[in-house]
């Protein structure tokens, strides 16, 4: 297995590492971060995949969320991939919300994006299998979470793969990418104009039409989030959950914005949610 260690630091008695590998799915070199709690020294532990938002790399979550404290105490691993294919050979765009740093967790069908921009398959198949085979994690106990674009990724990937990801949570997710500027731009660019192709990458449509029989889905949303009304639209998620009989717990947090100061405040609560079900 072609896995290069980029960095390794002890953190809360566990180990925070970053690896690089050649991705078959994305046709480029990719980095991802792995936090292994001390419990992973003696046995396989559950893992939560964290999907980051626009402009992020694998670094943002591991340096800013302070998640290692709770992960160490609970005995769960955290897998934090990059947010898009990368490199000089990978098509890009000058905008912050399209191209590199903005993979949107879809499998692109449009040129020139379709060769590399397959973050959905990368997370669901390649990275998940690679992590399961290379680290002391138990592939039967994986959960998924994320922020903003990554919250959208966590909800859609989780909903579509209940046997692979047993628990789902999100911070400030783009709840309905088919109905907001960030999502419409990305889905048009990666998937084309036929909106029928967009449905399987929209959490509200999956909530309403596919449902979810797993544990309650936990979502935190700051009420002072600058993108709340224009891009995130959690009300649409609540409506869709009701229609699809999805057990959704949306916590509206007064005063909190879209930043990692918000995520750091509630990440322990999310990891406890995942651990409660994954360790049961």
Question: Which are the catalytic amino acids?
Answer: 148, 225, 258
> For residue 32, what are the β-bridge partners?
19, 81
Residue with tokens 């404290």: 69
Q: How many CA atoms, within 13 angstroms, populate the side-chain half-sphere of residue 112?
A: 8
CB of 226 to its own copies, least distance (A): 11
CB of 223 to its own copies, least distance (A): 10
Q: How far apart are CA 236 and CA 250, in angstroms?
A: 12
Q: In what order do the strands lie in the sheet with 248-253?
A: 3-11, 14-23, 28-36, 77-81, 45-51, 137-146, 167-171, 217-222, 248-253
Binding site for its own copies (CB under 8 A): 9-13, 16, 63-64, 66, 68-69, 222, 224, 253, 255-257, 259-262, 264-265
Q: What is the DSSP letter of 182?
A: H
Q: How many CA atoms, within 13 angstroms, populate the side-chain half-sphere of residue 124?
A: 18
CB of 262 to its own copies, least distance (A): 7
Q: How far apart are CA 160 and CA 200, in angstroms?
A: 8
Give the nearer residue to its own copies in terms of CB position, either 74 or 191: 74
CB of 153 to its own copies, least distance (A): 23
Q: How far apart are CA 278 and CA 212, in angstroms?
A: 16
Give the nearer residue to its own copies in terms of CB position, either 6 or 95: 6
Give the nearer residue to its own copies in terms of CB position, either 41 or 242: 41
CB of 53 to its own copies, least distance (A): 15
Give the nearer residue to its own copies in terms of CB position, either 136 or 139: 136
Measured over the CA atoms of residue 102, residue 206, residue 141 and residue 128, the dihedral's sign is negative
Give the nearer residue to its own copies in terms of CB position, either 39 or 159: 39
Residue with tokens 């990305």: 186
**Residue 115 buriedness (CB in 10 A; 0-12 / 13-18 / 19+):** middle
């Amino acid at each position: 297995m072609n896995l290069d260690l980029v960095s390794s630091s002890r953190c809360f008695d566990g180990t925070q590492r970053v690896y690089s590998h050649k991705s078959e799915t994305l046709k480029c070199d990719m980095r991802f971060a792995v936090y292994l709690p001390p419990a992973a020294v003696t046995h396989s532990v559950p893992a939560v995949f964290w999907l980051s938002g626009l402009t992020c790399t694998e670094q943002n979550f591991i340096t800013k969320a302070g998640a290692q404290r709770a992960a160490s105490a609970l005995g769960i691993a955290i897998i934090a991939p990059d947010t898009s294919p990368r490199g000089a050979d990978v098509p890009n765009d000058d905008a912050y919300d399209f191209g590199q740093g903005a993979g949107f967790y879809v499998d692109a069908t449009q040129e020139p994006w379709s060769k590399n921009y397959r973050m959905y398959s990368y997370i669901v198949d390649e990275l998940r299998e690679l992590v399961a085979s290379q680290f002391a994690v138990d592939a039967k106990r994986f959960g998924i979470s994320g922020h903003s674009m990554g919250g959208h990724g966590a909800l859609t990937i989780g909903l579509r793969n209940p046997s692979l990801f047993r628990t789902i949570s999100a911070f400030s997710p783009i709840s309905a990418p088919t109905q907001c500027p960030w999502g419409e731009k990305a889905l048009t660019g990666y998937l084309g104009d036929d909106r029928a192709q967009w449905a399987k990458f929209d959490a509200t449509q999956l909530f309403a039409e596919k449902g979810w029989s797993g544990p309650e889905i936990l979502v935190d949303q700051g009420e002072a989030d600058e993108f709340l009304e224009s891009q995130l639209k959690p009300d649409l998620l609540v409506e869709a959950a009701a229609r699809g009989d999805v057990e959704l717990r949306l916590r509206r947090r007064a005063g909190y914005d879209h930043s990692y100061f918000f995520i750091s405040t509630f990440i322990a609560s999310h990891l406890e949610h995942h651990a409660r079900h994954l360790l049961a």
